[in-house]
Amino acid sequence: MENKSRHPWFFIPTLYFAEGLPYIIINSVSSVVYTKLGIPKDVMTFWTGFLYLPWILKMVWSPLLENRSKKFILSSAQFLLAIIFLLTGLAFNLNNFFVASLLGFAAGAFISATYDAATDGYYMLVLDKERQSFYVGIRTFFYRLSMIFGSGIIVMLAGRLEVKTGNIAPAWTISFTAVAAVFFIFTIWHFFILPRDAKPPSSLRCDATAPKAAQNFKEVFKTYFTQKNILIILIFILVYRLGEASLEKLIAPFMLDPKSAGGLAVSTETFGFIKGTVAMIALIAGNILGGIALAKYGFKKCLWPFVVLLNAPNIFYVIMAVFKPALWIVAVLVSFEQFGYGLGFMAFTVFVMKISQKSKYPTSYYAISTGIMALGMMIPNMMSGRLQVSVGYTNFFIIACILSIPSFFIAPYAIKIFEDK
């Protein structure tokens, strides 16, 4: 009889909440922190963009986790993340806070990427196929919920503390301590509640299998990069989100910067409410409705409207840069932009899944595709700050709109590949 205390409802939501939280803190909240602490935009975007690297390289070391206890990896990763977020928060008070905290974010990124791979592996080990299908929506919901917590509640907490204390660095120290506390709680909870995952067969632990494992590893990459239409697949993955990727790191500085610098002069707390809460809810709604539409009408019929809704709202940032509208208008425009992103991203996810499912190595193919996607996010992120400093917000947002155009050109080829698959 199944131990009721180890029912999936007791650990699937918390595992995936813990998966999403470091990702949003490292890749999004870091931009808010450094903007508030006065780091120049070109420096901030370059180095925070570089933090995507572990998610690119994840596909390389993920196979090394196959013959390890996933429960041990998960508990260890959560404990290390708790320590890292605590130390990173304390680092904001140092004279060389940028270097110290950036090292903390980098270490957290590698651990978080490892945690992602271990969580997905654990999910497939402890749940049968029927339960895996049942909990897909639940795990996605809690992953997104963690993003509201990280980019919304944590940022709002820091903003309120900034006002009360009149000091920015300690406010973020307290907020990051709260994140660390969450991971300490998760560490203890999962250590006791997680069912033990199945041990790998002894043959996989034998040194004699190393040459075979290496051969399979090479075969995965060889078959992926020699598959039919690989050039179109790579271009689609890299450019589909190019416009959105170029915007990502500059949204926080744009909204937080004073109007004299071309920004919207939004407070930290208000930014957390608009971008981290209201807009994130709109993104989740886009994910849900996008998934429903794709299931009902199919990829071919949905891709074109989703490409439009993904890219057209980028013009809203040009409008906001020129007219500096009221906060409620800003909230509406940013939320609609995130809603369109939610729809567009679902089409991208379905494309990548289709490419992966038809292969001999679906898990590895998916990891490679998402790694390439992270590369497509990292490079525009790293370059965006220098470009904005050179041309200003209005011209930068116009350029971001232009960078959205390639996704329209690649869309018909993606449809054809999808049909062939």
Same domain, 166 and 295: no
pLDDT tens across 311-329, in order?
Answer: 999 999 999 999 999 999 9
Same domain, 218 and 299: yes
In three-state secondary structure terms, 319 is helix
Q: What is the CATH number of the domain that holds 34?
A: 1.20.1250.20
DSSP state of 135: T
Point out the domain boundary residue: 174, 205, 236. Answer: 205
pLDDT for the residue numbered 197:
67
Count the neighbouring beta carbons within 10 Å of the beta carbon of residue 65. Answer: 16
DSSP H helical ranges for 149-273: 154-165, 168-193, 210-225, 230-239, 242-248, 251-256, 268-273
Same domain, 338 and 263: yes
Stretches in the chain below the pLDDT threshold 50: 1-2, 200-208
* 8 Å CB contact between 280 and 338: yes
Same domain, 321 and 336: yes
Closest-CA residue to 236 (of 359, 77, 408, 89): 408
How far is Cα 361 from Cα 359, in angstroms, rounded to an integer? 5
Point out the domain boundary residue: 161, 182, 205. Answer: 205
pLDDT for the residue numbered 207:
44
pLDDT for the residue numbered 133:
67
How far is Cα 370 from Cα 347, in angstroms, rounded to an integer? 14
Containing structural domain, residue 153: 1-205
* 8 Å CB contact between 412 and 299: no
Rounded to 5, what percent of the chain is helix, strand, coil?
85, 0, 15
CA 217, 223, 226 angle in degrees (round to 5)? 140
Same domain, 34 and 170: yes
pLDDT tens across 134-158, in order?
Answer: 777 788 889 989 999 999 999 999 9
Please write down the HEC assignment for all residues of 336-369. Answer: HHHHHHHHHHHHHHHHHHHHHHCCCCHHHHHHHH
pLDDT for the residue numbered 153:
96
Average pLDDT, the chain: 89
Point out the domain boundary residue: 172, 205, 238. Answer: 205
pLDDT for the residue numbered 65:
67
The pTM of this model reads: 0.88
How far is Cα 247 from Cα 311, in angstroms, rounded to an integer? 11
Give the dihedral sign, CA 220/226/229/233: positive
Same domain, 178 and 221: no
Same domain, 418 and 269: yes
Which residue has 């029912």 as its token pair? 7
How far is Cα 288 from Cα 343, in angstroms, rounded to an integer? 8
Number of domains in the chain: 2
Same domain, 297 and 368: yes
Same domain, 235 and 185: no
* CB-side neighbour CA atoms (13 Å) of 403: 23
Backbone phi, then psi, for 221, in 5-degree steps?
Answer: -70, -35
Same domain, 34 and 147: yes
Same domain, 201 and 219: no
pLDDT for the residue numbered 201:
46
Same domain, 103 and 238: no
